[in-house]
């Protein structure tokens, strides 16, 4: 099990859908979140991409000198990069970071946004291009060193004599993560990537996706790892956690929700469609009330009212959240990419409340960066704090 956190390069706040409690996306704040994740023992951080975000490669580069062991899950978007350039960028970053790069392959799901970036391919064509892109990228990193070159001619992409003079530190290449819920997405994950990420759907639905991708990978003679992208709202008691969830959307008005949902509805992303469907009552085919957004035990769809992409959160006491994580782990998921609002404080809250309840090997790994001294404020200028009886 590997626990990741999130760098909020599209904004951060105590409340969704409002400027109340909002924070500026500054270099200082981004580095605060990165340093916190590094010192607390998170495996790495996801750095999002899209026109609503700061550039993920620039952000990741700014975090290299202020972190020690943190890995960076950085987006590569076919259509915006050429694969040879993306291979050089990855190799350079991997060497300069000491082998801490992970690749997040993103095909994109908003046609209007994509056209604004100069990408005019439809959904099926984007997946074709992505498969060609990551194949070329991987071959350049693994085979085209020194005097070796690589040639490829596909439907969308072509390279002749591609060569990489400075290879990555990780061999054969930095691992590739990818998430897609369509049939084309499952096939791309199975045939080309190393880890398949799903957004936070109920466990039964996640199990179906894992089974399908695993079967497809087997037909290609491959094995794929699995992970999930979720928000977390954890408090010392269940009641406090649900109160925090209600507070998170307490300043969102219905008009803002309607505007956000209209944008999500125009997207051709199967994953975004599945997130939107979580807000619907299957019995009435109408939208759920805000009080009825717990779609599975401790799984809440409130974040997706106004946020695209990952729209669900685990909500509950530390033990409840740890139990739900274990439930997903029992389905074969190893990578948990988490976030919470605001991201700086919630990185500490989740680590302090949930890390001690996770499997022993993970507890030992995340405790290592903090070892070497007493924890907590010394009592009476003399006594080191002891664990509470509870």
Structural domains of the chain sorted by starting position, each given as residue range(s) with its CATH number in brackets: 2-370 (3.20.20.30)
The structure tokens 């398949």 sit at 196
Structure confidence at residue 374 (pLDDT) = 65
Band (pLDDT 50/70/90 cuts) for residue 371 is low
Structure confidence at residue 289 (pLDDT) = 65
Is 286 a residue whose pLDDT tops 60? no
Band (pLDDT 50/70/90 cuts) for residue 304 is confident
| Cα 44 off chain centre by | 10
Is 67 a residue whose pLDDT tops 90? yes
Structure confidence at residue 380 (pLDDT) = 74
Two tokens at 60? Answer: 């990741």
Task: Report the percent of the chain where pLDDT is more than 70.
Answer: 88
Structure confidence at residue 337 (pLDDT) = 98
Band (pLDDT 50/70/90 cuts) for residue 378 is confident
Query: pTM score, two decimals?
Result: 0.91
Lowest mean pLDDT among 74-83, 233-242, 286-295: 286-295
Phi, psi of 231 (to 5 degrees): -90, 160
Residues 209-266 have pLDDT tens digits of 999 999 999 999 999 999 999 999 999 999 999 999 999 999 988 888 778 767 767 7
Does the N-terminal peptide bond of residue 342 adopt cis geometry, omega within 30 degrees of 0?
A: yes
For residues 246-258, b (16+ Cβ closer than 10 Å) or e, as one string? bebbebbeeebbe
The structure tokens 């085209």 sit at 144
Structure confidence at residue 37 (pLDDT) = 98
Question: With helix as H, strand as E and coil as C, how does the chain read?
Answer: CEEEEECCCCCEECCCCCCCCEECCCHHHHHHHHHHHHHHCCCEEEECCCCCCCCHHHHHHHHHHHCCCCEEEEEECECCECHHHHHHHHHHHHHHCCCCEEEEECCCCCHHHHHHCCCCCCHHHHHHHHHHHHHHHHHHHHHCECCCCEEEECCCCEEEEECECCCCCCCCCCCEEECCCCHHHHHHHHHHCCEEEEECCCHHHHHHHHHHHHHHHHHCCCCCEEEEEEEEEECCCHHHHHHHHHHHCCCCCHHHHHHHHHHHHHCCCHHHHHHHHCCEECCCCEECCHHHCEEECCEECHHHHCCCCCCCEEEECHHHHHHHHHHHHCCCCCEEEEECCCHHHHHHHHHHHHHHHCCHHHHHHHHHHHCCCCCCCCECCCECCCCCCC
Is 353 a residue whose pLDDT tops 70? yes
Q: Look over the chain and give the mean of its residue pLDDT values, rounded to a whole number.
A: 89
Structure confidence at residue 383 (pLDDT) = 78
Structure confidence at residue 35 (pLDDT) = 98
Band (pLDDT 50/70/90 cuts) for residue 205 is very high
Residues 248-261 have pLDDT tens digits of 999 988 888 778 76
- In contact, 62 and 27? CB cutoff 8 Å: yes
């Amino acid at each position: 099990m590997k626990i990741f956190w999130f760098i909020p390069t599209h904004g951060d706040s105590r409340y969704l859908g409002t400027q109340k409690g909002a924070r500026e996306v500054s270099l200082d704040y981004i580095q605060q979140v990165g340093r916190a994740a590094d010192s607390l023992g998170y495996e790495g951080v996801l750095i999002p991409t899209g026109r609503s975000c700061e550039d993920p490669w620039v952000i990741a580069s700014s975090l290299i000198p202020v972190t020690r062991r943190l890995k960076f899950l950085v987006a590569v978007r076919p259509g915006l990069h050429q694969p040879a350039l993306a291979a050089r960028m990855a190799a350079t970053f991997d060497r300069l970071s000491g082998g801490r790069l992970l690749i997040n392959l993103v095909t994109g799901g908003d046609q209007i946004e994509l056209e604004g970036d100069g990408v005019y391919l439809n959904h099926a064509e984007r997946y074709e291009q992505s498969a060609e892109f990551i194949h070329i990228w991987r071959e350049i990193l693994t085979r085209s060193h020194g005097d070796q070159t690589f040639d490829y001619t596909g439907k969308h992409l072509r390279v002749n004599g591609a060569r990489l003079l400075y290879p990555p530190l990780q061999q054969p290449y930095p691992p590739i993560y990818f998430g897609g819920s369509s049939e084309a997405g499952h096939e791309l994950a199975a045939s080309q990537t190393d880890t398949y990420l799903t957004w936070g759907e109920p466990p039964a639905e996640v199990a179906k996706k894992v089974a399908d991708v695993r079967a497809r990978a087997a037909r290609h003679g491959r094995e794929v790892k699995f992970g999930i992208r979720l928000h977390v709202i954890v408090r010392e008691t269940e009641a406090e956690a649900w109160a925090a969830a209600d507070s998170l959307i307490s300043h969102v008005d219905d008009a803002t929700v309607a505007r956000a949902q209209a944008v999500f509805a125009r997207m051709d992303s199967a994953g975004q469609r599945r997130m939107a469907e979580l807000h619907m009552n299957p019995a009435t085919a109408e939208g759920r009330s805000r009080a009825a957004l717990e779609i599975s035990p401790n799984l809440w769809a409130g974040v997706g009212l106004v946020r695209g992409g990952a729209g669900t959160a685990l909500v509950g006491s530390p033990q409840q959240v740890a139990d739900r994580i274990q439930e997903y782990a029992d389905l074969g998921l190893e990578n948990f990419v988490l976030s919470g609002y605001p991201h700086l404080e919630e990185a500490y809250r989740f680590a302090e409340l949930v890390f001690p309840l996770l499997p022993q090997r993970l507890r030992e790994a995340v405790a290592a960066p903090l070892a070497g001294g007493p924890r907590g404020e010394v009592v009476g200028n003399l006594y080191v704090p002891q664990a509470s009886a509870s």
